Amino acid sequence: MFATEFIMRVLSQWVASMRVRRVIGVAVCVAGAVGLAASLTPVAEAVTDVDCTVTSLQAKAPRDTTVASAKVVPAEGNLPQFCQVEGSVATPGNQVGFRLALPADWNGKFYFQGIGGFGGTFTNMNRGVSRKYASATTDMGHKGAAFDGSFATKNQAQVIDFGNRGTHVTAVATQALTTAYYSRKPQFAYFNGCSNGGRQALMEAQRYPDDFDGLVAGAPANDFVGIGAQFIKDMRNPREKRYHLQRAAFPG
């Protein structure tokens, strides 16, 4: 078991026993960053009152939330069968996209996966889905490649959604859809993210502390001034010969 997975299991047990909220784990980014204690409270196979269709889910969706697609994804490998939902939440001047996976065999908990870089797409949620969590992620309010920051020069609403609002509104919407689908609220809600995802976790803890019971802020990229300065330095250095690697440094 990875050390960070063990830490999260201990944190999860602490949350369950002490009934405390807003636990934050700050960690480095590793493949096994989250165990999330899927087996702490065994849950029987979920019985849903809502079909995995756009019509059924839209009827239960919160205000300002639009369900764009819904489909049943068959079980494969270590992933259970789940209902995959995509949609968006309206914010002032923008739309923030989300993807939600609702396992047929639900463990009773909710998992939100943060996204690295500048967002702009949906990240992989298999870590949560494989453990039978209702799992969600967001594009943070714009479409683009992971390191394409051009959106920030064109639309202030997208800057705000990337900064903090987009994660919050999609966390609220996807948890509400989860509650509607299973006819009961998740026992616990967790957030896990690294780099920009770690920054998302810190913003959630500071601005929206009631969204999650526990957060993992892996290697949070929250010092944008420092990071920007380092990016500039890294881009300039290869142009200067004194920074070039010399063959003599690697004998043989």
Contact predicate 162/151, CB 8 Å: yes
Contact predicate 186/10, CB 8 Å: no
Work out the mean pLDDT of the chain and round it to a whole number: 84
Q: Containing H/E element for 221?
A: none
Which residue's structure tokens are 């063959």?
A: 247
Count of CB atoms situated within 10 Å of the CB of 159: 17
Q: What's residue 46's pLDDT?
A: 59
Beta bridge partners of 111: 135, 190
Task: Give tens-digit pLDDT for 214-233.
Answer: 999 999 998 878 888 887 88
> What phi-psi label fits residue 21: left (phi over 0), alpha (psi between -120 and 50 degrees) or beta?
beta
Domains defined along the chain, listed by start: 3-239 (3.40.50)
- Residue 237 CA neighbour count, 13 Å, CB half: 9
Q: For residue 247, is pLDDT > 70?
A: yes
Residues 97, 141: Cα–Cα separation, whole Å: 6
Residues 102, 29: Cα–Cα separation, whole Å: 26
Which residue's structure tokens are 């999609």?
A: 170
Task: Give tens-digit pLDDT for 197-220.
Answer: 999 999 999 999 999 999 999 999
Contact predicate 192/218, CB 8 Å: yes
